[in-house]
Amino acid sequence: MAHTVILATGATANWLGQENEMRLATTGGGVSACAVCDGALPMFRNQPVAVVGGGDSALEEATYLTKFASTVYIIHRRDELRGSKVMQERLLSKPNAKVLWNKTVADVLSANDEHGHEVITGVKLTDTQTSEESTLEVGGLFIAIGHTPATGFIKDSGLEFDAKGYVDLKGQSTATNIPGVFAAGDIADSVYRQAVTAAGTGCQAALDAEHWLADRDLI
């Protein structure tokens, strides 16, 4: 029997579900779910790239990519962005940012490069209003349509979750609403989702758990 538990099962990026998308994402072929992680790689520099999404995360990633890419296309299925006005203004002020309205990705196109490695060459788009199809040539595709915390196995545990489904932490600690249960990393973080921040909260959770045990003379 455990006196304390630290939950650290993370979160997974939401994907479009295209077969080529997943293959290229797992083989380093130019599809990614984290612009901050991969956007500065040489393969994306001075290349046109696309970001799928319309919320703050997508706008933030697209803004970051404008530092490296020749053009950053934001592919959004509606005729207005969902992100905050400040984030929209920041992105749209960039001369190499362009929004493609009312578009969805129907397929991810690829070819082998000079080394025989399969890489993205573009995306096939479908207009959500006219159903017209078009092709956009890009050297990178970044999916920014949210993450899903890995909390399915604890949905009926009595733990409290925030509006986005992440474990709700109490105050400045890693404590949950259940005494002795702590959470660390992306399972409780809908904002940063970085390895370094997850590692930091892992340390915090270990200290919180140790203090909790010590206060009850369990160690």
Q: What is the pLDDT of residue 184?
A: 97
Tokens of 143: 């999916």
- Right CATH for 5-12+148-215 from 3.40.225.10, 3.50.50.60, 3.90.1650.10, 3.40.50.1260: 3.50.50.60
| Cβ-contact 181, 159 below 8 angstroms | yes
Q: Which CATH number fits domain 17-143: 3.50.50.60, 3.40.50.2300, 3.30.300.30, 1.20.1050.10?
A: 3.50.50.60
Extents of the domains making up the chain: 5-12+148-215, 17-143
Which of the given ranges, 71-75, 114-118, 147-151, has the highest pLDDT on average?
71-75
Distance CA 56, CA 155 (A): 27
* pLDDT (mean) for 7-32: 95
Which pLDDT score is estimated for 134?
98
pTM exceeds 0.95: no
Work out the widest C-alpha separation in the chain, in whole angstroms.
Answer: 68
Domains 5-12+148-215 and 17-143 share a fold: yes
pLDDT above 90 for 195: no
Q: In the prediction, which pLDDT does 42 show? A: 96
Is 203 a catalytic site residue? no
pLDDT for res 65: 98
How many Cβ atoms from other residues are within 10 Å of residue 197's Cβ?
15
**The pair of three-digit structure tokens given for residue 98, joined into one six-digit string:** 């362009």
Backbone angles phi, psi at 192, to 5 degrees: -90, -50
Which is catalytic among the residues 37, 79, 113, 203? Answer: 37
Q: Confidence band (pLDDT; 50, 70, 90) for 167?
A: very high
Of the candidates 38, 56, 127, 168, the residue annotated as catalytic is 38
pLDDT in tens, 33-50: 999 999 999 999 999 999
pLDDT digits (tens, 9 = 90+) for 178-191: 999 999 999 999 88
